[in-house]
Structure 1
Amino acid sequence: MDIAWSLFTPWHSLAGGALIGLAASLLLLGNGQIAGISGILGNLLTREGRAPWRLAFLAGMVLSPLLLWPVMVEVAPATVQTPDIDTQTVARLLVGGFLVGLGTRLANGCTSGHGVCGLARFSLRSLVAVITFMGAGFVTVALWRLINGGVAL
């Protein structure tokens, strides 16, 4: 079986998407806030934004997978290997993180804010942002594979 198909998990993906939608809906209905993660985190770090709900929302994002771990079914096959972490890998992660943060600032929001919440509200600005995010990702992967002879990121 091809490794790509063995990682295809539509039911897990559907459940995860439903939980993300539920969390975003509950935050909007219960608190009147958009579930844009970069905004929640960024404002948590400012004096004006130190609301308990921000910390609770972020803690839930981090802790919920740990709480679900005992009941989760192993998804990845034994053929999947974790990469060795070296200085080149760390450097790529740091550069990638910086570029994502820069893009988040330039777009006034992240993929969760624009892609999940903005598109659900039929925001034209969010649609343009999501098309830009996805387009940049497609181009980056295509160029990477072209330069590196088809090797995945």
Structure 2
Amino acid sequence: MATERGSDIGWRLCFLAGLLAAPLLLWAVAGIGKPSALQTSPMLLITAGLLVGYGTRLGSGCTSGHGVCGLARLSFRSLIATGLFMASGAAVVFVVRHLLGA
């Protein structure tokens, strides 16, 4: 028996609404996570978001997907990906803190 699959726009909109509403609700109810002003340009944030999306697609998954689920499944590809994520992060921190002096 085949079931007809409906559009997935509903859950996608609910997910997006939850991403926006959850921190605001937590701040309003518990006073945790007070919203702060961004210290960077919107264009830099958009570029960073696009690069994260591209990297996720290029790496066949996100850092937490490879690091948590992939390693738990003993996936060799996830082991390599997680090692590369960690090495890249360490290299960027070294360059920014020690070579650029930021």
Question: Could you tell me the TM-score, scaled by structure 2's length?
Answer: 0.62
Letter in 1 for 2:98: L
**Pairs within 5 Å for 1:14-53:** 50-51=7-8, 52-53=10-11
| Equivalent residue, structure 2, for 1:100 | 52
Structure 1 Cα separation of the partners of residues 6 and 66 of structure 2:
20
| Equivalent residue, structure 2, for 1:71 | 30
Letter in 1 for 2:75: S
Letter in 2 for 1:105: R
| Equivalent residue, structure 2, for 1:127 | 79
| Equivalent residue, structure 2, for 1:42 | none
- Work out which structure has the larger RCO, using CA pairs closer than 8 Å and 6 or more positions apart in sequence: 1
| Equivalent residue, structure 2, for 1:62 | 20
Identity, % of aligned positions: 48
| Equivalent residue, structure 2, for 1:110 | 62
CA deviation string 1:56-94 (max 9, x = no partner): 33433332222222214468xxxxx95644xxx445434
Q: Give 1:110 deviation, angstroms.
A: 1.4
Structure 2 residue runs of 5 or longer lacking an equivalent are none
Distance 1:138-1:102 versus aligned 2 partners, 3 A rule: same
Question: Could you tell me the TM-score, scaled by structure 1's length?
Answer: 0.46
Structure 1 residue runs of 5 or longer lacking an equivalent are 1-47, 76-80
Distance 1:99-1:62 versus aligned 2 partners, 3 A rule: same
Instruction: Number of aligned residue pairs: give it.
Output: 95
Letter in 1 for 2:20: V
